Structure 1
Amino acid sequence: MVEVGDSPATVPPRATREDMGKRRRKIELEEQNINSALREFRVNYEQFKYYAIGKAICSKPFATGGHMWRVNCYPSGQDVSDGGEYVSISVELVSKSKSVHAIHEAFLIDKDRQPCHEVAYRSNADLFETSSEWGWSQFVARTELEEVYLTEGHFTSVCSIMVIRDSSISVPPPDIGEQFSNLLDSSDGADVSFVVDGETFHAHRAVLAARSPVFRAELLGSMAEATMSSITLHEITHATFRIMLRFVYTDALPGDDELGDSSSEMVQNLLAAADRYALDRLKLICAQKLWADVSVDTVATTLACAEMYSCSELKSKCFDFFADEENFKKAVLTEGFMQLVQKFPSVMPELRERLGI
């Protein structure tokens, strides 16, 4: 590779040697912090046009984003497959650096010293490693360059590079959910227990009260449970309570494979528990899961759950499903729809109004 000079920065003619030194140090400091750079690269095409394919003319190295770069120009092209019919332009990372992402672009300057929009390219964020280069193998056809863009045997390209810096200090993702999950598993500091279907769960009053207004009233208020160290719960299964309690501590549900074979039934049970303890986010998560599995066979049962547990968002979605005439014709023939009408007769007038029938 042959290195040629590109446009240097100018210094005021009256600057003293001391001023020049200060200016140089200032520029060096600024270049260490700057994230982008623009370089004009003038190439003597007549001198180098007979270069072999893959042989480059290189700009002087320049700094930006804490790394050293240079522009490479291949007068006969970079790739043998192009047959020497194109000029190639690329940007190369020359410093010994860790990998860095950067966006780069290049364009020609026409004979009027204006940017040429016909020969202009911009990259995505490419990954550079030491001595790696990215660019355009077919930057401009040699015939087009010779006919249109040469001035006294020279052409000028402009390359810019913008370094995408990573944060200088890596911050791990939050793990508060994992920490509270460990607290639940260890039972350290637990001050209340729940007995469900003969199974005992240890918990912390402060955590439960912070997450649920119902638990707050029961455990920290004037209700009898506030003075009880062990509370027996009815009308909820131990499996449902275990998942709900884990959600209270971690704000997350287990995967569908952990919900059991009857995951839809478990989600319905969790919706009931979320309504009972005013866990609004859990309630909406359950609604989302139920809605994702809605079909003409299940929509009536899902609507019944929405009505029973006052989930207006899920109810509205079910009404939208019924609004499709084909869905309605099939859903009304299901056993679930018959049970819906029997348990919640008030739903029918709402549904008729929604459907306009």
Structure 2
Amino acid sequence: MAVGKRRRRTIGLEEQSLNSALREFRVNYELFKYRAIGKSICSEPFSTGGLMWRVNCYPSGRDGSHGGEYVSIFFELVSKSKSVHAIYEAFLIDKDRQPCHEVAYRSNAHLFETGSERGWSQFVARTELEEVYLTEGHFTFVCAIMVIRDSSIPVPPPDIGEQFSNLLDSSDGADISFVVDGETFHAHRAVLAARSLVFRAELLGSMAEATMSSITLHEITPATFRIMLQFVYTDALPGDDELWDSSTEMMQNLLAAADRYALDRLKLMCAQKLWDDVSVDTVTDTLACAKMYSCSELKSKCFDFFASEENFKKAVLTEGFVQLVQKFPSIMSELRERLGI
């Protein structure tokens, strides 16, 4: 093992810089083998990864958990800096000046803060050290520290939804308006057309709406249209606290609007929320909604609900089930086929 040019010595511990990564320490064990538990021999500070470090060797162990039967090796960050992650390793050198693979350790990445220590409490047993590795009362170990630099450039999370929401709220550049039950909503043709094939056909195609600056909508409430418009711009639904008291009714209305304007993702999001709230009292209304607006995924889930004998017996006695069968006569045959009854 080549010896570098630099050599530093403290009482009982001599350091040699082997190369830019490795450092060799020769410890006067005979002099310090009776040192108390928790008392270390410290190296001079050295630089690695642009930071100053120190190696602390505890001849009788760093703490008393092992009765002073082991030598401990620890690395200490000396520099006053922000916390850093580093990998460290150490191994003994045998009497033939060769690395000892039986006493060799390498850590995972660990967080260091100024003054903190990390290492091995049981680096080598004192009895093994004294019998195998001492040369003229000294033992030698080599260590290295590799500082892990965060080379990434922080990138903020996407905020396109928030930006489009602001665009909707401000009405800047709006070129189309919708009147719903006397309430006016301003929007942008290009955004609506990009998000919905139905809006594209109406606003950019050959339909009469393409030449209109204001369109009056029927069979939809202002609250439902507002939430749908927000979804079109942000691809997200408002929180439950913004859906008012009757969130189930709102989800049914919103699913209908999503079906009308071919907003498939919104349709499935509404279906999921309706399914989350399904019960014996609501399953018939939910199934009716699924049938009415061709939501096969929600319909299948409702059939799964009826597959429970207990649920089925309770649901068929509700007024909602009677209305469901009257509105969709084929539902009974579908249920029998699905449930095998």
- 1:256 aligns with 240
Distance, in Å, in 1 between the alignment partners of 2:333 and 2:268 is: 25
Q: Once the two structures are aligned, what percentage of the paired residues are identical?
A: 78
* 1:151-166 → structure 2 map (5 Å cutoff): 151-152=134-135, 163-166=147-150
The answer (yes or no) to whether the contact 2:35–2:60 under 8 Å persists in 1 is yes
2:197 to 208, 213, 235: 213
The answer (yes or no) to whether the contact 1:74–1:87 under 8 Å persists in 2 is yes
Structure 1 residue 235 displacement after superposition: 1.1
Q: Would the alpha carbon gap of residues 185 and 115 (structure 1) be closer, same or farther in structure 2, given more than 3 Å must change?
A: same
Q: Would the alpha carbon gap of residues 310 and 135 (structure 1) be closer, same or farther in structure 2, given more than 3 Å must change?
A: farther
Encode CA deviations 1:278-327: one digit per residue, 9 max, x unaligned.
11221222222222223343333323322222222223333333334444
Distance, in Å, in 2 between the alignment partners of 1:285 and 1:76 is: 64
Secondary structure of 1:337's match? helix
Task: Indicate yes or no: 2:325 matched with 1:350.
Answer: no
Amino acid at match of 1:227: T
Distance, in Å, in 2 between the alignment partners of 1:162 and 1:300 is: 64
Structure 1 residue 220 displacement after superposition: 0.9
The answer (yes or no) to whether the contact 1:4–1:57 under 8 Å persists in 2 is no
The answer (yes or no) to whether the contact 2:87–2:106 under 8 Å persists in 1 is no
Larger radius of gyration: 2
Structure 1's unaligned 5+ residue stretches are 10-26, 28-36
Alignment RMSD, CA only? Answer: 3.5
Amino acid at match of 1:205: R
Distance, in Å, in 1 between the alignment partners of 2:312 and 2:128 is: 68
Structure 1 residue 115 displacement after superposition: 3.5
Distance, in Å, in 1 between the alignment partners of 2:191 and 2:28 is: 74
Amino acid at match of 2:307: A
Structure 1 residue 38 displacement after superposition: 7.1
Distance, in Å, in 2 between the alignment partners of 1:73 and 1:334 is: 79
Secondary structure of 1:188's match? coil
Distance, in Å, in 2 between the alignment partners of 1:297 and 1:144 is: 76
Distance, in Å, in 1 between the alignment partners of 2:131 and 2:279 is: 65
Task: Indicate yes or no: 2:311 matched with 1:318.
Answer: no
The answer (yes or no) to whether the contact 2:194–2:200 under 8 Å persists in 1 is yes
- 1:139 aligns with 122
The answer (yes or no) to whether the contact 1:110–1:116 under 8 Å persists in 2 is no
Distance, in Å, in 2 between the alignment partners of 1:347 and 1:42 is: 86
Encode CA deviations 1:60-84: one digit per residue, 9 max, x unaligned.
63524x5454443323333466664
TM-score w.r.t. the length of structure 1 is 0.76
The answer (yes or no) to whether the contact 2:71–2:126 under 8 Å persists in 1 is no
Moved more, 285-294 or 50-59: 50-59
Equivalent residues, number:
327
TM-score w.r.t. the length of structure 2 is 0.79
* 1:270-349 → structure 2 map (5 Å cutoff): 270-349=254-333
- 1:32 aligns with none
2:159 to 175, 193, 206: 175
Distance, in Å, in 2 between the alignment partners of 1:147 and 1:206 is: 81
Structure 1 residue 263 displacement after superposition: 1.6
Distance, in Å, in 2 between the alignment partners of 1:133 and 1:102 is: 12
Task: Indicate yes or no: 2:27 matched with 1:5.
Answer: no
Q: Would the alpha carbon gap of residues 121 and 297 (structure 1) be closer, same or farther in structure 2, given more than 3 Å must change?
A: farther
* 1:89-100 → structure 2 map (5 Å cutoff): 89-100=73-84
2:222 to 215, 238, 257: 238
Moved more, 258-267 or 92-101: 92-101
